Chains A and B, each alone.
Chain A
Amino acid sequence: AQSVTQLDSHVSVSEGTPVLLRCNYSSSYSPSLFWYVQHPNKGLQLLLKYTSAATLVKGINGFEAEFKKSETSFHLTKPSAHMSDAAEYFCVVSGDNYGQNFVFGPGTRLSVLP
């Protein structure tokens, strides 16, 4: 069965410093992986997705993630945090061909300090 672990429930960084949000997954299929962002009282927006075409995936707003099969990881990074990056981030894995089996991680809340 698929599962997702987000290793930090809360990450706090200063504006202009790098961001690292960690995600490990378990899947019995060749996985598809996604990162979504949720700003307060908003819906979820796709940041980026892994489609097996390239292990380093670039997303919106300067975020990127690297798929490492040997480590079963899909960590999200950004070189320089901006105040507007403060939000909740979810790592998601899907693994079947029927579009039904999406598993969400518990989320990581990112705080950006001035």
Chain B
Amino acid sequence: NAGVTQTPKFRVLKTGQSMTLLCAQDMNHEYMYWYRQDPGMGLRLIHYSVGEGTTAKGEVPDGYNVSRLKKQNFLLGLESAAPSQTSVYFCASRRKLAGDHNEQFFGPGTRLTVL
């Protein structure tokens, strides 16, 4: 099992450019998440998905869009990148179980710099 993988690992964009980050998981998890990590702020939820074809906004969704066309993939898009989106982006997945005690599995992260 590869677990959760993210593509690319690093990227540098110019202001106004667009890009898509890909997250893939091979654990057949129902839930998937996109977070951004900034110094001193922990991880903040951007968008999440509770199943194929469904997405929802998290805490900081502005400037991002997502799609989950296949259960194993969760894409994060930046339509017009801004310097404020310079961050490390983490994808996570989680199995759907009764109750709420199962953990998230995280990818290795994508370091994005917007100039």
Contacts and interface: CB of A to CB of B under 8 A. Distances in A.
B42 A42 contact: no
Given A43-B90, A90-B42, A104-B43, A99 B96 contact: yes
A41 B108 CA distance: 8
A114 to B, nearest CB: 26
Main secondary structure of the interface of A (DSSP, over half): loop
A43 B109 contact: yes
B100 interface: yes
Interface stretch (A12-20, A46-54, A71-79): A46-54
> Size class of B's contact patch?
20 to 34
B88 to A, nearest CB: 9
B42 A43 contact: no
Interface of B: 4, 30-31, 33, 35, 40-45, 48, 50, 56, 58, 90, 92, 94, 96, 99-101, 103-109
Interface string A29-61: 100101010000111111001111000000000
A100 B48 contact: yes
Contacts of B40: 9, 106-107
